[in-house]
Each structure stands twice: as structure tokens, then as C-alpha cells.
Amino acid sequence: MYLYLTSRYPWNTKYCNEAGQAMYKVDSQNLTLGARTMTVSKITPPVQEENLDFNDEAVFRDQFTYLGEIEYRYHSFNPSRIKYNGQDQPVSTFFSKYTFYSRERTFTGADGREYSWKLNQRVCKLFIKGTETLVAAFHRKRFGFFVEPRPASLEIMPEGEHMIDLIVLTFIYVEKLRKDKE
């Protein structure tokens, strides 16, 4: 499964499926120097066809519901925080074995397994911890000078399709962190 980004900033964009339908939306606001709030919303499923009112314009617009929020602080004494699934945690709690300079961020999925984002020099990749099993990978935009052009995308493997919301939320944080360390 691919989610295509509509802008070059994963922390301020829409994530669309192959048909172009927006599935997630991220609105980002700068708070102060080095601080940013990223609100992640998920598409609301359409109403059932038997309940469809063709005169209701709202039926034909993308409607999103709140999924989570990232309070990102790069140069601050206050820790970055992730709000998801009714919990508000500092990233040092959300990501286990977290150290500021590490190029890896590990979290526990709803299935009880540990997953690790590896922050490579140019992209982030998510693996099942302790294995080489790829769960998700970010692909940067290609402009097409020597290769076929393509938009930036987040590829989610079948091993991660049970937790797409969590993958999107954690990806936004680790990609912003990777980019700031670049």
C-alpha cells in the first residue's frame, strides 16, 4: 500500500491513496522558535449508500476526524510529546530505549510487538525490531531527470497494514527529526 504526499513536507500535507483520495491530513503550526504542533486527522468513512442524501454537499467533501497530535520541540528544554489513542506521552516514553543522538526509534504496536524506525541519512524505514522484516518505508520525490518521476510516498507493507494509523503518526515525528538532523 502506498500513501502519496501532496507536499514536500510530511508534517504538513495530505496522504492520498493510489486513486488520489486523501486518507490522512497533517496540519502543522509553528508555536515558537524550534517548536511546532502537528495535528494528524484521518478521513471519515462515507455514509452508507442507503443513507446517502445527494443534496447534502458535505457528503461529497473530505471530512476528517482527529487522530493524534505531535508537539515537536527540537531546541527546547521541554520534551516533544505524542498524543495518540487517549494518551499524552513524552517521546522518551512513547519510544522505548530512546536516546537523543540515536538514529533509531523503537515503539510498541497494539499487537505487543516492538517496531523500530531507522533514520537513515536520506529516508526512514520501519522494521520489526531485531529482524530485517520491512514494515514501512519512505520514498522521496523523484524529479525525473534520469529516472521516472514520482511523488513522495510512504509505502506500507502487508506486515504493517493492521496499524496504519500508528505508522503514519510515528513516521511524521521521525521524518521531522531526521530532516532536522540532516
Q: Give a three-class secondary structure readout of 22-37.
A: EEEEEEEEEEECCEEE
Total-model pTM: 0.86
Nearest to 13 by CA among 24, 124, 80, 21: 24
Which residues lie across from 153 on neighbouring strands? 4, 139
Residue range(s) defining the domain that contains residue 78: 2-181
Is the model's pLDDT at 78 over the cut of 70? yes
* pLDDT per position as a tens digit, 124-182: 999 999 999 999 999 988 776 777 778 899 999 999 999 999 999 999 999 988 887 77
Mean pLDDT (the chain) is 86
Whole-number Å distance between alpha carbons of 136 and 157 = 6
Whole-number Å distance between alpha carbons of 79 and 123 = 24
How many domains does the chain divide into? 1
What is the pLDDT, as a whole number, of residue 54? 47
Let me know if 119 is exposed, middle or buried by CB neighbors in 10 A (0-12, 13-18, 19+).
Answer: buried
Q: Which of 9-13, 26-30, 146-150, 172-176 has the lowest mean pLDDT?
A: 146-150
CB atoms under 10 Å from CB of 39, counted, come to 16
Only one residue has cell 524506525, namely 117
Nearest to 14 by CA among 53, 83, 62: 62
